[in-house]
Amino acid sequence: MASEGREDEHPSVTLFRRYLRIRTVHPEPDYGAAVAFLEERGRQLGLGCQKVEVAPGLVVTVLSWPGTDPTLSSVLLNSHTDVVPVFKECWSHDPFEAFKDAEGYIYARGAQDMKCVSIQYLEAVRRLKAEGRHFPRTIHLTFVPDEEIGGHQGMELFVQQPEFKALRAGFALDEGLANPTEAFTVFYRVRVTCTGKPGHGSRFIEDTAAEKLHKVVSSVLAFREEERRRLQSNPHLKLGAVTSVNLTKLEGGVAFNVVPATMSVGFDFRLAPDVDMKAFEEQLRGWCQAAGQGVTFEFAQKWTEPQVTSTADSDPWWAAFSGVCKDMSLTLEPEIFPASTDSRYLRAAGVPALGFSPMNRTPVLLHDHDERLHEAVFLRGVDIYARLLPALASVPALPDEG
């Protein structure tokens, strides 16, 4: 392993690797260690620090750099501290060692999603403060828990707190997939429950829950294949332009020799923006009815009012963001973000947000085995944010401000 703190390693990379080693992994994330790390960094940078406990043991850490004009709304830089579980045996290196290979790739859970962005925010602020810079708008950095399991005990609660409202956020950045915009797609998480006749495992029992579940799964996966083919057959379509679906959970059974009376299956649907949602729900209902009696579905999670952040040239936030990217010769490809992030709660609270993770020329490995990021790509991201923050924090007063 390239050792931490080697003389030839950039201090920002060393800090990044320190943060990656904190095991904020579900189902038992060490949030306390992450909060302590962020508090320490905030003190070192001379930032205001606020800890907001939104649920027992779940804290949102807010680091603030006051602007020179308190009448203006603030810029909010959001990132989440939690990471998804790992299958350690499938990794080339320990996913919490932050191993750096000879080529400069850093292997760790959270390297892309999204501890890189957290440290890029912090290091960009460090650089700007060291230069003696000041900006009209306050910059808040928010580090939230629970995003990877829906944000219900994180950002969803935080936006309802008086502490969030006191931030007076006018614009926010959050994670992306190296894409500058995130016009969030509608997403459904659906649980289908099938009931049938139980009995001993040695008999051919008619009308079982498993048979009905098989029919539902076949219908949904056939639909999935149609959408996959539609995406692959049209080079002009991107992932968020079609409906994606994945079977994510199977439940049922008590013993190998007992036919269960109930089985359930969970699906994660990400609907394309042009889908008629009422018609889609009717399609779901039809799949369940076709499987037989005693088959029902419910929404484990449902988001049906997407808020779209403007990317019009006339929008002052977008103009500032895209102007910097143009000056840095960064190619922007606005597209629909196919995953769900905490941005949806910010937009629902009336705060326009863009999803942006500066990871070009990098394979998308979030949630995958051997998640990794090259140190040069990481450092380039610090450079980008060090240019973006002055532009965003200097957006002139808007008509409803001042």
From 82, 146, 148, 268, the catalytic residue: 82
What is the phi/psi pair of residue 121, to 5°? -55, -55
- Residue 147 is a catalytic residue: yes
d(CA 326, CA 332): 8
From 123, 147, 175, 268, active-site residue: 147
Q: Which residues pair with 187 in a beta bridge?
A: 270, 303
Q: Where does 196-253 show beta strands of DSSP type E? A: 199-200, 244-252
Q: What is the dihedral sign for C-alpha 344, 268, 270, 244?
A: positive
Q: In what side-by-side order are the strands of the sheet with 105-107?
A: 99-100, 105-107, 372-374
| Packing angle, helices 31-45 and 115-130, rounded to 10 | 10
Angle between helices 209-233 and 277-291 (to 10 degrees): 140
CA distances 164 to 114, 272, 352, Å, are 22, 31, 15
How far apart (Å, rounded) are the C-alpha atoms in residues 361 and 372? 13
Q: Determine the Cα–Cα distance for residues 47 and 45; give it in Å rounded to an integer.
A: 6
Q: How far apart are CA 328 and CA 196, in angstroms?
A: 62
251 is catalytic: no
Examine residue 27 and say whether the peptide bond preceding it is cis (omega within 30 degrees of 0).
yes
Question: Amino acid identity of 246?
Answer: N
What is the C-alpha separation between 347 and 25, in angstroms, rounded? Answer: 27
Enumerate the active-site residues: 82, 147
